[in-house]
Amino acid sequence: MLKKLFCLTLISVFFLPSLALAKTKQSITLLLYNGKVFSADEKGTIYEAVAVDGEKIVAVGNSKDLRAKYKAKQAIDLKGKFVTPGFNDAHIHFGSVGTALLRVDLNGSKTLAEAKRRIAEKIKELPKGAWVLGRGWDHTLWNNKLPTRADLDDIAPDNPVFLQRVDGHISWSNSLAFKLANITKDTKAPEGGEIVYDKNGEPEGVLKETAQGLVGRVVPKTTQAEFAKGLELALEEAKKFGLTSVQSGGDFGAIPLYQKLLEQDKLTVRAAIWQNFETPVETLKKQRSDFQALKLNPSHLKLGILKGYMDGTLGSRTAAMLEPFSDDPKNKGIPRRPAEEMIKMIVERDAAGFQMGLHAIGDRANRIALDGFEMAKNKRPKEKTETVKLGGNVAQTTSTLYVYDKRHRIEHAQVVAPSDFNRFAELGVIASMQPTHAITDKRWAPARLGEYRSLGAYAWNTFMSNKVHIAFGTDAPVEPLNTYLTLYAAVSRQDISGNPTNGWLPQEKLSMEDAIRNYTYESAFAEFSEKEKGTIEVGKYADLVVHSKDLLTIPHKEVLNTRPTHTIFNGKIIYEMK
C-alpha cells in the first residue's frame, strides 16, 4: 500500500505539473515555426517563429519557446522557409492593373508589326464603332520611331483607337479617334501638353502629356462593372505576389467599390487611396470630410497623399530637365505648370495640412518640387500657442515648438542633381521609387542623360547614404505587378537577361535586406502606418509572406523564380501555392 502511495506521489510530482502546463498553453489562431523570419526592423533581426492571434502578431522568437507557450488552431512547419512582412506597394495604380487586363496589352511588343497584330486581334472581338483601348507600347523598342495614326488606320478604319504608351504619358490614336475629338491642324495643345505634327503640319496621331485629354475626353468612361471586375483581378494578382498593402493613384472615384469589398470581407489589401493635387483645397477638404463620415476602418481603407504631376517621363522626353536631353539638344521636356504657380499650390496645400506626393522625373522637376516643399516649411509657424483652462475663468497660455510632420513625397525621383540629394533629407522628403524603372529605362536613359547626369539617376544607394527615406513600389500597370522583379532590380540593376554583367551603375545596388525593408517598413512609414505594419513585431498586423526561396542567400537571378508559398493578410492565409 505504501509503495502504491509512493508511486502516486511521484506521478503527482513529476507528471501533474506537465499536465497543468499543457492546460495553460495560450490558444492562438496561427503559428509559423521552424522558419527564417526576417523582421525587417532596423537591425534586420531574424527569428525562427511567429505567433498570431486573430489579426495581430502576439509573439516572435525561437520555435521551441513558442511551441511550448502556444496552442495554435493552425500550426505550419516552415521547414526552413523564409518569411517577411507583406509587401507594401507605395506607388501603384491598383484599379488600372485590373482594367488593363481587360484591354489590349501591348507590353513587350518588340516591333510595330507585333503591336498592330495584337490590336487587330482585339478588334475582331469588338463591334464596329466600339473604342479600342489599351496601353503598353514602347517606341524605344521600335528604333525610337513614334507610331502614327496611319499605322492604325489600315487595321482600324471603323473603330476609334486610344492606346497609351507604357508610361501613360503619351497616347497613340487613329484618324477616326481624332475626328471624333475634332483634332485638326488648327488645334492648340493645352498647357503642359504637345501635339505631334507631320511634315505637312497635320496631327500625326501622337499626343503628349496633358494633350492626351483632347482624345481622352471623348473616350467612354470605365463603367463601374468594368472597374469592379478589374479590382477583383488586381486582388488576385496581389495575392500571388505577397502584396498586402497598396497606395493607389487614380482610384478615388472607385471608393464605393473598395468600400463594398471591405464590407464583404473581400478587400485583401490595405488600401490608401490618393486624391488629386489639382483639386481646389476646399473641395479636397470636403472630400476628406465625406470620407470620414463613412466611418471605415482606416487600417483597411483610408485616404492617402495628394498626387500631383511636375513633369512627364524620360522615355517620352517630356521629363523637365535643367539642361536639354543629350540626344535631343533643343528639348528640356515639358513642365506641367510654371514653377511659380506650382510652388504656390504646394504651399497652399501644405498649409491646409495635406501630405503631397509629386511625380517628378527630371532634375528640374525634382528641384522645383523641393523648392516648393522648402518654401512651405519656411512659411509654417515656428511656434504653436495653446490655451489651457485650469478651472473657473483662469487660463494659462503656453508656447511650444510647432511640430509638423507631413512626410511629403516625390514620386519616382528618377534624375536628381547632386546638390539636391541632401535637400531631401533636410526637408524630410521621402523618395518614392520603383526599381524596375531602372532596368527598363537603362536601354535608352544613358543616351537621354549623358554620362554625368546618369550618376544621379535611379540612385537608391545615394539616397540612403544621405539618410533619405525610400519607399518602394512598382507603378503597375506601367511596370508589372511583380514584387520579386522589384527586389531583383534593386539588388542587381540588371535586366531579366542578366545584363549588364555587374549591373547598370552598380554603385547604386542595394543589399536584399535594405530592399525588403524599403518595400515593407519604409513604404509603411511613407503613409504614416509604421506603428501598425511593415515589420514582424508584437502588436502589428499579421501581414506576412512565406517565400519559396531564401531571398537573403540565393543568387540574384533566382529571385525572379521565387514566389509565395503562403500569403497571409490580417492573420488569415489568403493564398497558398498549389
Measured CA to CA, the distance from residue 567 to residue 52 in angstroms comes to 14
Rank 13-17, 141-145, 396-400, 495-499 by mean pLDDT and report only the highest.
495-499
pLDDT in tens, 483-515: 999 999 999 999 999 999 999 999 999 999 999
pLDDT on residue 384: 59
Q: Give the three-state DSSP class for 381.
A: coil
pLDDT on residue 175: 94
Residues 6+ apart with CB under 8 A from 209: 169, 170, 192, 193, 194, 312, 316, 318, 334, 336
pLDDT on residue 15: 46
Percent pLDDT > 90 in the chain is: 83
Place of cell 493552425: 74
The residue type of 133 is L
Stronger pLDDT, 2 or 128, i.e. the higher one: 128
CATH architecture of the domain with range 94-216: Roll (3.10)
Residues 6+ apart with CB under 8 A from 278: 308
> Residues 550-559: what's their mean pLDDT?
98
CA distances (Å), 236 to each of 230, 440, 481, in order? 10, 25, 11
Q: Give the three-state DSSP class for 168.
A: coil
- DSSP states along 319-340: S--SS-BTTBTT-----SS-HH
Q: Which three cell numbers stand for residue 54?
A: 486573430
CATH code for the structural domain at 310-381+401-468: 3.20.20.140
Q: Where are the beta strands (DSSP E) in 233-352?
A: 243-248, 270-276, 301-309
Q: List residues bridging with 394 in a β-sheet.
A: 391
Measured CA to CA, the distance from residue 483 to residue 291 in angstroms comes to 30
Helix ranges restricted to H, 407-526: 421-427, 436-441, 445-454, 460-465, 483-492, 512-519, 521-525
Q: List residues bridging with 92 in a β-sheet.
A: 248
Measured CA to CA, the distance from residue 569 to residue 243 in angstroms comes to 9
pLDDT on residue 350: 96
Strand order in the sheet with 356-360: 87-92, 243-248, 270-276, 301-309, 356-360, 409-412, 430-433, 470-472
Q: Taking a C-beta distance cutoff of 8 angstroms, is the pair 165, 204 a contact? A: no
Query: What residue spans in the chain does CATH classification 3.20.20.140 cover?
Result: 310-381+401-468
pLDDT in tens, 389-419: 545 454 555 555 445 578 999 999 999 999 9
pLDDT on residue 257: 96
Query: What residue spans in the chain does CATH classification 3.10.310.70 cover?
Result: 94-216
pLDDT in tens, 86-125: 999 999 999 999 888 888 989 889 999 999 999 999 999 9
Q: Which three cell numbers stand for residue 393?
A: 475663468
Q: Give the three-state DSSP class for 260.
A: helix
The residue type of 562 is T
CA-based nearest residue to 358, from 382, 383, 339: 339
What is the reported pTM?
A: 0.86
pLDDT on residue 21: 46
Q: How confident is the model at residue 17 (pLDDT cuts 50, 70, 90)?
A: very low
Q: Taking a C-beta distance cutoff of 8 angstroms, is the pair 63, 33 a contact? A: yes
